Each structure stands twice: as C-alpha cells, then as structure tokens.
Amino acid sequence: MYNNYGNLQTNWIQLAGDTLINREPNMNLKHKWEYEDGLMLSGMFQIFLASGDKKYFSYIKNNIDAYLDDDGNIDGYSFSEFNLDHINNGKILLDLFEQTHDLKYKKAADKLYNQLLEQPRTPEGTFWHKKIYPNQVWLDGLYMGSVFYGRYLSQFKSDNDLADVVHQFITAYNVTLDSKTGLCYHAYDAKKTQPWANTINGHSPHFWTRSIGWFVMAMVDVLEYIPASNPQRTDILNNLNNLLNALRKVADSKTNLWYQIPDEGDRPLNYLESSGSLMILTAIAKSIRLNYINKDDWLPFLLEGYKQALRQFISVTKENYVNVNKIAHVGGLGGPSKRDGSFAYYMSEPIVTNDHKGVGPFLLLICEMQHYL
C-alpha cells in the first residue's frame, strides 16, 4: 500500500474530522438544505462521540444553526414538496437537541415529523419518495425518512409502538425484493406506469449499490429504536441478514467491495463505487457490534473490505487532507431528464471526489472500525 494512502493504523477519525473543519468550514456553499450534508454531519457526530473533542460538535452546530431561526423554521425547507430527502437532516436536529436542550432544534424536528404524518403513500402504505415521484418507493427514502421517524417517536412519543415505522421497512423490502438474487431493486412504481418500471412487478431495471447501501444502513439504524416487544422487529432483522448475505454473493472477490451495478461486475464500464461500498461496510460493522449478524462469519470479510476500501477509494493530500474518491455523483429515475434506469444511465453519471454521499459513510465507517482495530 502506498504510504500516502494511509493504512489501518492511521488515525482516520482525527484526520478526516480535521479535514472537514479546515477544508469545508461551510458545509454547503449554495446554502441548500440537502440530505448528503446530514449524512456527513451524522459521521461528524460519531467523530465527536469517539474523540470527545468539542470542536467537532461546534462544526456541526454552526453549520446547522445557519439554517434555523429561534422558532425552528428551516431556511430552504419546503413542507409542501413532501420530499423524504429533506427529512434526513432531522437526525442531526435530534442530536443537537439531546446535547443542548435548545428548543429550536426540537421545533425544527417537529416540522419534519409533521411532514411524515401527511406524506403521501402507495397502496401498500409506503411513503412516496417525493410528491413529484407519485406512487414510487426508492430504497434511499428509508434512510432519509423512516429512521428519523422511528427515532422521533421513540424519543418523544412513549405510547407509540412504532408499528408504522416497521411497516415502512417491511413493505419497502417486499415490493423491491428480487426473489432470485435476494437483492432489492433501486425503486418500485406501485402503478407500474413509469417509463422505467417493469409493467409486471413495477421494479426499476437494475440493482444499484448505493441504494442498497442506504437501505441496509437504515435497517441497522432503525433496529435501535424498535422495541423487542414488537413482533415484526425480527422480520426486519431477518431481512437485513438476507440482504447482506445476497450482497456478499455479488461482492468483488478480490476486494470485498461492490461495483456500481453490483451483480454485473464483469461488464465493461462498470466500476468499484465508493459510497455504496462504504455504506454496506458500515452496515456490516455496526451489525457485528450490535450482534445482528454473526461476528465469526462476517468479521474477516469486513476487515478485508475495509483494508481494500482504504486502498481503492481513499487518498491523502500533501496538506494532510483526506479525499474520498470514486463516488457516483447522483443516481435517480425519471424526472426532467427522463432517467431510464438502464446500465448505460448508471455508467453515464459523473464520478466525483469528496461528495458528502461518500464522505459521510466513510466517517461513519472509520468510527465503527475503531471497535475492531
């Protein structure tokens, strides 16, 4: 391994945390309320907990405070868009409220929770991904909306059994599952009318690594909030195990990482993609720690995958800044550009560096890996 790529003994927590403070004091130069920033800040919050250094907490607080007033109004947030992506940053609002007890964070979180109460649903009762994507379930949405949903209810609604939260996860898994591979498709159209949708089952044309990464991280996270008394908690746990096992079967055998289209790794143009791979490794690492999966079976796979992730995706500049490389910039379906979900589409999206969709899971992963190294 090249020295400037770092190694397993590198203090990645400090190096990556300091990189963001110094290189990106303002997390979003366009001042948009964007889900990937919440993902990055979730990683920074874990760095704060792992290190105990308050400078990381100050970074989080200062960046979120730039969007809030004292009444919890969120600059750039639109309730009427019914966009699950806009809910993701709510997890940070709850972190800040727990740490500071400042009511503006609770008031802002209340607004996001109230959106979920009115969020349109498919006939199965699953949240639409966005108002502009009617009757569509995207795997991303479980991480964006339903983890916050579960945490909010467990934190503020002691009489709620989280049945609807569980329903979101069970139905999303069922409507996107491919029974042959055990993988879940990127999206599902309940009406089966979208140009990208299979007219028989409503599935999008391909599996997409990052969408599955979002989903397995979401399942791992939400299990912390679902009480053992809920009989369907075991269903989510079983679905998590089944999906991770299916992912393991299509992982690149040389690296224990995943291609942009995970089940077609030998196809020209396909490439090892960092954000989805880092998300899946994060889900595996946290699942081992919380005994959701078997440690003896999974830990060797995780350790090799982490070592290879550092080699394949991470570089360090001469300024000692961490770069997360090989990130698929976006991946979606339909919309104004009529994204068709084809293999050619997923290969056509730009591959970028330091997008927070890749930085965030790297921060989460390095915090999880401290338990094993």
Active-site positions? 140
Residue 78 phi, psi dihedral angles, 5° rounding = -125, 115
Residue 235 identity (one-letter amino acid): D
Q: DSSP letters of 127-187?
A: BPSBTTBTTEEETHHIIIIIHHHHHHHHHH-TT---HHHHHHHHHHHHHHB-TTT--B-SE
Token digits of residue 178 = 């491919």
Contact 145, 88 (CB under 8 A): yes
Token digits of residue 54 = 């308050």
Task: Tell me the CA distances in angstroms from 341 to 317, 334, 351, one per residue in order.
Answer: 35, 8, 17
Q: Which residues pair with 136 in a beta bridge?
A: 189
Please list the helix, strand and coil fractions of the chain in percent, rounded to the nearest 5, in that order: 55, 10, 40
Of 61, 37, 38, give the one whose Cα is nearest residue 48. 61
Contact 310, 3 (CB under 8 A): no
Q: Which positions ≥6 away from 247 have C-beta within 8 Å? A: 183, 212, 216, 258, 262, 280
Q: How far is CA 7 from the centre of its chain?
A: 25
Using the structure block, give the residue that is written with the tokens 């991480």. 143
Could you give the 3-state DSSP secondary structure of residue 369?
helix
Number of H helices, E strands in the chain: 14, 6
Task: Tell me the CA distances in angstroms from 254 to 90, 137, 278, one per residue in order.
Answer: 38, 33, 16
Contact 127, 113 (CB under 8 A): no
Dihedral (Cα; 238, 95, 140, 124), 10-degree rounding: 60
